[in-house]
Structure 1
């Protein structure tokens, strides 16, 4: 029996990471794509490619600096696309190996902020979308990352809106109240387990 891949996504500040941790607490193996991408960013081959494409302005002590890189790519869709073309294939390959290592599981979860935007949603059997109203999401990110409202909105501009994502999602968790969100996650977990 093939291990089913469940995508877990949501816009910035939606609480998808919180939901990923909750599913992990239920015993589901969870692959956090952003964490793996951060590791891949520091691999020698990736460092070389980043330095060649983006130059010294994004490097600190010979390694890519994520804040400097973000400042460059979040203001330029073209540069963001170039960065994604370097990182995403490496994350995709890493994820495939990870799934192979969890082949005895009924299902696993891949948590990714840009599951739809990267096209990797096509490799998922089902998708869970975590949503919250934009004003709540903006407040969460401003508090979490100590950034301005404008910076948060700029990041949101690089992500699909919830309506577009919802049309392609199997399940939706509305994460305004964490207890309600966990109850919905429990329902989804049971459905996936019994599938």
Structure 2
């Protein structure tokens, strides 16, 4: 089964593109949502996180204390690397289990913002990068994330791998730039992946 990764920086519209594939009947693994699930439900990982970041990592109700963890890692690259180093291997295992459950599907998609940073690209056969120029991303994010300032958004973007590098490393680019229609691009890729699976 073909495993296709889909990535791109904040505000490019990865999730919109992933949903289009989902509407075509393709299973989509949402790395961000699954990472949250794994952090809550994988007992071994929970113990590793508490050992690394303290009891406050989880609330009394057993939920991940996101604001506490964010306060530790946001401006501390070493601690962020430590967090990712604990979480990403468990998410990779979860993805492999999930893929086995999708038997009979022509291909699957894994949506991940940190496709390269987490080494998740190594599990993929091909990568799609979704691209949008910075001004379009800023406009979208200021409308969507009303709690964030432009400065906040630029700080997040500055910490992510550059779009140029993501595009250079990807087999396919979907342009979600408000200039080109996205659906025809998705349908073209879908047809390619189906024909690849039938060869």
- How high is the TM-score relative to the length of structure 2? 0.89
185-194 or 144-153, larger mean C-alpha shift: 144-153
- Cα gap change, 1:188/1:12 in structure 2, threshold over 3 Å: closer, same or farther? same
- Cα gap change, 1:153/1:56 in structure 2, threshold over 3 Å: closer, same or farther? farther
Q: For each residue in 1:97-156, what CA deviation from the matched residue of structure 2 results, as whole angstroms up to 9, or x when unmatched?
A: 111111322211011110011111122111111010112212322332221122212222
Q: Which residue of 2 aligns with 1:114?
A: 114
Q: Tell me, in whole angstroms, the C-alpha distance in 1 between the residues paired with 2:73 and 2:113.
A: 16
Q: Which residue of 2 aligns with 1:88?
A: 88
Q: For each residue in 1:135-188, what CA deviation from the matched residue of structure 2 results, as whole angstroms up to 9, or x when unmatched?
A: 221232233222112221222222111111111111101112287112211111
Q: Tell me, in whole angstroms, the C-alpha distance in 2 between the residues paired with 1:175 and 1:107.
A: 22
Q: Tell me, in whole angstroms, the C-alpha distance in 1 between the residues paired with 2:152 and 2:4.
A: 30
Q: Give the number of aligned pairs.
A: 193
Counterparts of residues 133-148 of structure 1 (less than 5 Å):
133-145=133-145, 146-148=147-149
Q: Which of the numbers 24, 28, 31 marks the counterpart of 1:30?
A: 28
Do 1:50 and 1:64's aligned partners in 2 also have CA atoms closer than 8 Å?
no
Determine if the alignment matches structure 1 residue 16 to structure 2 residue 14: yes
159-168 or 50-59, larger mean C-alpha shift: 50-59
Q: Which residue of 2 aligns with 1:155?
A: 156
Superposition CA RMSD, Å: 1.8
Q: Tell me, in whole angstroms, the C-alpha distance in 1 between the residues paired with 2:106 and 2:49.
A: 37
Counterparts of residues 166-185 of structure 1 (less than 5 Å):
166-177=167-178, 180-185=181-186
Q: Tell me, in whole angstroms, the C-alpha distance in 2 between the residues paired with 1:158 and 1:81.
A: 12
Q: Which residue of 1 aligns with 2:101?
A: 101
Long gaps (5+) in structure 1: none
Q: For each residue in 1:71-107, what CA deviation from the matched residue of structure 2 results, as whole angstroms up to 9, or x when unmatched?
A: 3222111111111011100100000011111132221
The structure 1 segments of at least 4 consecutive aligned residues displaced by more than 6 Å after TM superposition are none
Q: Which residue of 1 aligns with 2:130?
A: 130
Do 2:142 and 2:149's aligned partners in 1 also have CA atoms closer than 8 Å?
yes
Q: Which residue of 2 aligns with 1:52?
A: 51
Do 2:56 and 2:65's aligned partners in 1 also have CA atoms closer than 8 Å?
no
- How high is the TM-score relative to the length of structure 1? 0.91
71-80 or 4-13, larger mean C-alpha shift: 71-80
Q: Which residue of 2 aligns with 1:73?
A: 73
